[in-house]
Amino acid sequence: MAKRTILLGGAALILAGISVAVAQPDNSCTTYDGQMSGSALYVLMACPDNAKAQCAAPVNAGTIIQKGVNYRFLYKTRATEIQNSLVVVQLKAMAAQPVPEPVAIKLTRQQLNFACYTKDNKQDPIPADADDVTAAPDVGYSIYDRFHRYGYAPRKELRVLLSFHTSYFNGSACVSTLEKVRRAQFLFADRSNVAGITVGLLTRFGIDTPVAVAAEINHYDHLQVVLANYKKQPQASGCISFLGRSDGPSLEIDVSDLEEKAHASNDFDRFHPEVFTINTK
Amino acid sequence: MSEIQKTAQPPGNEPPAIENEFVWAIRPFLKRCSIIFSCWTTPSLEVDTFTRDDGVSARAFALFLIAALTFAVRGDNGDNGGANPTAVFTAFAGGIAIILSAVLNILSRTYKIRERLVISAYASTIIVMFFFVIFQEILTLTLPFLLYNSFFWYGDVIIPAVLGGIATFALLLMKSAWWDEKPIGRRGFRHGSILTVGSTIIVIIIALLSSRIFHRLVELVSKLKLHGD
């Protein structure tokens, strides 16, 4: 009996250890907060004066990362009145040569603690470990583009996209990531061309022609969308953290803060992401 | 004077005016539409008031509309990674036409259903499909969490289909009562509900059927038809 108890206790401890290892929260934002200023992207790299320690290096024209290595990126927002927001991060790894067909888009969503219409306002990450891109669901580029532009997709992909999108409390109301301006931030090209329900229906019925797929998307051999989030006090900066890598000559990271975009005063601010390009060696 | 003589035609042989050409071209289309519209009523007890040829052409036209709407219902533009989008498109359209036509033909022969009831079933299916697309689009963009989480993960199909069925049924009753000026009664209510429930089930099947199974069915039905000939 005692042996069985010890065995069960041991198994429980091992399982608990595994679950801690899998779901370990990333606290890079807190750790490196002092090294970062607002509205900038940082990458965690070996410090220049101490190769064993990690520093948050600002991403600029001179930043170079190694091919095929995962890097943790941190994005600190400007100090705004926003309390809760979701941030769409598009990771586009440049291919050595253009690909014949656009590659499928990997979708990852980080754990959300201010979701609407869920138990305890929590929503689990997608996949279970949001940093594990290999386990992330994917959707063909043209279907992804059509869904965010016109609002429809074949059932299999519709299920994936409906599970990926969410409703969240932005500090004053519950809003959906599928509202028109917020939906536009998920597009990889031509963001201002997002249809309402009427044009969406006309396109779905085949009466209106959908927008052609942008040719420049064939320059990338890895496309990924990370739906990150932050919660902060008004007048403070938010911070998000995500992993990125590239096996090609460069990595482009487009960042769009959904609440900032939804309240932008002009079309340029509303539909243009912050773009960061990092070369590889 | 000579110019006038050259261009003048004997009376009755004048080339038709452009407006007449247009009317001539769309007349068959309007005729088919009007047959479908008149057949879509409840209770449908009248004998067929159109010729067999007109009935066949109206059914063919309705079938064409159903095939076209199939893509809208499935949220499919035929370019979802297939090697030949046009071929996929045509296969789907052909498949839907073959399956629906075969099923309704067997039913009408077995139960001696009148042509106008078969056309009425086609019309109901078209209208449920139309409403399904509208409701699914609106709900996707406004209440996505409802579509995703309800009815054991089939809410994205069942909710818009049921709403489409209810809207079609209401429209059918209104059309019968106000346009056709019919006393609907219990029988009309029963006929109408059977018609719309059947159409709703067809639309749910069309929306849920996976592409792989659908292609298999099309192949199977095509073989059966060939053996039947």
In which domain, by residue range, is A115 found? 82-233+248-280
Query: In this structure, is residue A273 part of a structural domain?
Result: yes
Is A127 among the domain residues?
yes
Domain for residue A191, yes or no? yes
pLDDT for residue B101: 74
Mean pLDDT across the stretch B146-155? Answer: 87
Q: What's the sign of the alpha-carbon dihedral A94, A100, A101, A107?
A: negative
What pLDDT score does A180 carry? 94
pLDDT in the model for residue B228: 44
A242 is written with which tokens? 């995500």
Q: Element (H or E) spanning A21, and its range?
A: helix A2-22
- Give φ, ψ of A133 to 5 degrees: -65, -30
Nearest-neighbour CA in chain A from B78: distance (Å): 10
**Scanning the structure block, which residue is given the tokens 């069925």?**
B165
Interface test with A, best of B80, B90, B203 (most A CBs within 10 A): B80
**Model pLDDT, residue A19:** 43
Residues of A in contact with B69 (CB under 8 A): 205
SS (H, E, C) chain B: CHHHHHHCCCCCCCCCCHHHHHHHHHHHHHHHHHHHHHHCCCCCCCCCCCCHHHHHHHHHHHHHHHHHHHHHHCCCCCCCCCCCHHHHHHHHHHHHHHHHHHHHHHHHHHCCCCHHHHHHHHHHHHHHHHHHHHHHHHHHHHCHHHHHHCHHHCHHHHHHHHHHHHHHHHHHHHHHHHHCCCCCHHHHHHHHHHHHHHHHHHHHHHHHCCHHHHHHHHHHHHHHHHHHC
E strands of chain A, at which residues?
40-46, 54-58, 64-65, 71-76, 84-94, 105-109, 138-139, 167-169, 174-176, 220-231, 239-244, 250-257, 274-280
Q: How far apart are CA B35 and CA B18, in angstroms?
A: 26
CB A227 within 8 A of CB A86: yes
- Angstrom CA distances, B118 to B108, B166, B176, B191, stand at 7, 20, 17, 13
Which residues are A167's β-sheet partners? A176
Q: Which of A116, A123, A204 to mutate to test the interface with B (most CBs of B within 10 A)?
A: A204
User: Please, what is the average pLDDT of chain A?
Assistant: 89
Number of domains present in the structure of chain A = 1
A103-117, A257-271, B5-19, B42-56, range with the lowest pLDDT:
B5-19
Indicate the average pLDDT of chain B: 80
Cβ of A142 within 8 Å of Cβ of B79? The answer is: yes
User: Which residue in A140, A151, A163 is closest to B141 by CB distance?
Assistant: A151
CA pair distance B222, A30, nearest whole angstrom: 65
Q: Does B64 touch chain A (CB under 8 A)?
A: no
Q: In chain A, which residues have their Cβ closer than 8 Å to the Cβ of B148?
A: 159, 162-163
Q: Is A10 domain-assigned?
A: no
Tell whether B141 lies on the interface with A, counting CB pairs under 8 A: yes
Of residues A183 and A2, more confidently modeled: A183
The stretch B8-27 carries a mean pLDDT of: 67
User: Does A179 map to a domain?
Assistant: yes
Handedness of CA A12, A13, A18, A24 (dihedral sign): positive
CB A248 within 8 A of CB A96: yes
Asked whether residue A98 is assigned to any structural domain, the reply reads: yes
- Rounded Cα distance between A175 and A179, Å, is 8
Q: Give the model confidence (pLDDT) of B156-192 as tens digits.
A: 999 999 999 999 999 999 999 999 998 888 999 999 9
- Give the span between the Cα atoms of A66 and A249, in whole angstroms: 10
What pLDDT score was predicted for residue B74?
Answer: 87
Interchain CB contact of B148 with A (< 8 Å): yes
Whether cis (ω within 30° of 0) applies to the bond prior to B15 is: no
Spatial separation of the C-alpha atoms in residues A170 and A175, rounded to whole Å: 7
- Whole-Å CA distances, B72 to B36, B68, B69: 21, 7, 5
Nearest chain B Cα distance for residue A168, angstroms: 11
Q: Which residues pair with A42 in a beta bridge?
A: A58, A74
pLDDT at B86: 54
Secondary structure in 3-state letters for A143-155:
HHHHHHHHCCCCH
Percent of chain A with pLDDT over 70: 91
Give residue for tokens 């073959």: B98
Q: What is the arithmetic mean of pLDDT over A12-16?
A: 48
How far apart, in whole angstroms, are the C-alpha atoms of residue B175 and residue B181? 8
Residue A70 inside a domain? The answer is no
A259 to chain B, closest Cα gap in Å: 18
For residue A127, say if its preceding peptide bond is cis, omega within 30 degrees of 0.
yes
- Convert the pLDDT of each residue in A202-243 to its tens digit: 999 888 888 888 889 999 999 999 999 999 999 899 999 999
Tens-digit pLDDT profile for residues A247-271? 999 999 999 999 999 999 898 889 9
Q: What is the pTM of this model?
A: 0.85
Output phi, psi for A168, to 5 deg: -140, 160
Contact at CB, A197 and B141, closer than 8 angstroms: yes
pLDDT at B149 over 60: yes
A270 sits in which H/E element: helix A267-271
Q: Residues A28-53: what's their mean pLDDT?
A: 89
